[in-house]
Structure 1
Amino acid sequence: MKTNELNLSTKTLARTTGFFYLLIITGGLMSGMFVRETLIDPTDAAVTLRNIVQNESLFRLGFLGDLIMVLSDVMVSVLFYFLLVNVHRGLAILAAVFRLIQSSVLGANLINLFKPILMIQGADKMSTEQLTQLGIDVMTQLQVFDYGYLISGVFFAINCFLMGVLLYKSADFPKPIGIMIFIAGLGYLFNCMASFIVPSLIDISAVVMLFTAVIAELTFCAYLLIVGVRHRKKLIA
């Protein structure tokens, strides 16, 4: 059975990577869809402020989900390196570097997500005018967090390009997965660039990302957890 520098079988390493990959997806969905989507109204700062004040524990839980996601992303960066280093060491190092940079940007950006918690302390003693301004400030802080997230996405898109090539060349994974991850990088890059350069395309880029990046990553994660690596037929001597 083939092993690696971690002295794990390739299948065990792949499934361990899949576990942390699942934590990334779970943490991201919990914090993004089930917390921020519930509490934040992009069109109404007052409603957003009221929701956060009334559901502070839920907002903190969302922060925890993002923290778990970032920590798991660091693990996945390292595990993918060991999983793919035998395919091409240089590309594996580059892929790990770009994903670790993404994790660093995400980790640093978490302070922008937590800052509203600090800002709302004592909100019950504020005047109406103060609450109005506070709502605007909180909304601005959350927008800064969103754009920080998008900046990290550029590094992740490059990681997807590199990962796509490595997976395509690897004998351990089906070539379609490598193609899907490479295309996912295009989806992420389009979404990030549209948000910064052509905001009118944000809705279109979100749909493109859904049908490229999201499906690709879910498929890849499922493959890692269920299959691990592709079974190789033994050659008959």
Structure 2
Amino acid sequence: MKTNELNLSTKTLARTTGFFYLLIITGGLISGMFVRGTLIDLTNAEITLNNIIQNETLFRLGFLGDLIMVLSDVMVSVLFYFLLVNVHKGLAILAAVFRLLQSSVLGANLINLFKPVIMIQGAEKMSTEQLTELSSDVITQMQVFDYGYLISGVFFAINCLLMGVLLYKSADFPKFIGIIIFIAGLGYMFNSMASFLVPSLIEISAMVMLFTAVIAELTFCAYLLTAGVRNKSKESQL
């Protein structure tokens, strides 16, 4: 069985990538949906502040989920390069660069997520007026974090578009995988651009992004974990 520069078979490399891809999805869901989705209400600063104060440990665990997601994303960037470099080296490099740029923005943005934990220290000694001001500052901080996420989404959208082309051309993956990843890239780009340029479309763009991303990324991750790559008489050498 032929191996690549990492001395792994193509199927093993694909399944390893799928494992880290699953960590990204799991970390993102835990931190975004089950932690921030439960504790953060951008329309109610007082409730958000109370939720974070009363559930500080849970909020910290959400931060850990995001940190694991970012670290796994760096691994996936590198592993996808080795999986797809034989298709087109230039596009594979570009795809890796844009995904690493996304990881860099997400990593830097984590300070905005953790800052409320620092801000609430000593909150039990604050006056009502101080707590009101603190709640407003926390909401602003979470809004900054959300927009940092959207900025990273631009880099990720470009990565998905490039990945879509590479996967479509690759003999190791079904063409429909490349198509749905490319469509997901369009969804991510629409969501990010709408949030910055046409705020009235935020709800629609978020739904489009969620629909396309869930189908594409879950399908791709499942394929990597189960099939790895297409079964062929001879495995492609990366």
* Bin for the TM-score computed over the shorter chain: over 0.9
1:227 aligns with 2:230: no
Aligned to 1:98: 98
Secondary structure of the corresponding residue to residue 150 of structure 1: helix
Aligned to 1:69: 69
Map 1:81-160 to 2 at 5 A: 81-160=81-160
- For 1:11 and 1:118, the matched residues in 2 are separated by 44
- For 1:207 and 1:40, the matched residues in 2 are separated by 19
Aligned to 1:188: 188
Query: 1:233: how far off?
Result: 4.3
Q: Identity, % of aligned pairs? A: 86
Query: 1:42: how far off?
Result: 1.3
- For 1:212 and 1:32, the matched residues in 2 are separated by 17
Runs ≥4 residues deviating over 2 A: none
**Cα-Cα RMSD:** 0.7
Aligned to 2:18: 18
Specify the code of the residue in structure 2 equivalent to 1:55: N
- For 1:41 and 1:157, the matched residues in 2 are separated by 27
Specify the code of the residue in structure 2 equivalent to 1:162: L
Aligned to 2:203: 203
Aligned to 1:3: 3
- For 2:115 and 2:213, the matched residues in 1 are separated by 29
Aligned to 2:33: 33
Aligned to 1:57: 57
Aligned to 2:45: 45
Specify the code of the residue in structure 2 equivalent to 1:60: R
Specify the code of the residue in structure 2 equivalent to 1:194: A
- For 2:31 and 2:71, the matched residues in 1 are separated by 14
Query: What stretches of structure 2 of length at least 5 have no aligned partner?
Result: none
- For 1:134 and 1:206, the matched residues in 2 are separated by 29
Query: 1:212: how far off?
Result: 1.1
Map 1:169-180 to 2 at 5 A: 169-180=169-180
Q: Deviations over 1:68-92 (max 9, x none)?
A: 0000000000000000001110000
- For 2:203 and 2:17, the matched residues in 1 are separated by 32
Query: 1:207: how far off?
Result: 1.3
Specify the code of the residue in structure 2 equivalent to 1:43: T
Aligned length: 234
Aligned to 1:168: 168
Specify the code of the residue in structure 1 equivalent to 2:96: A
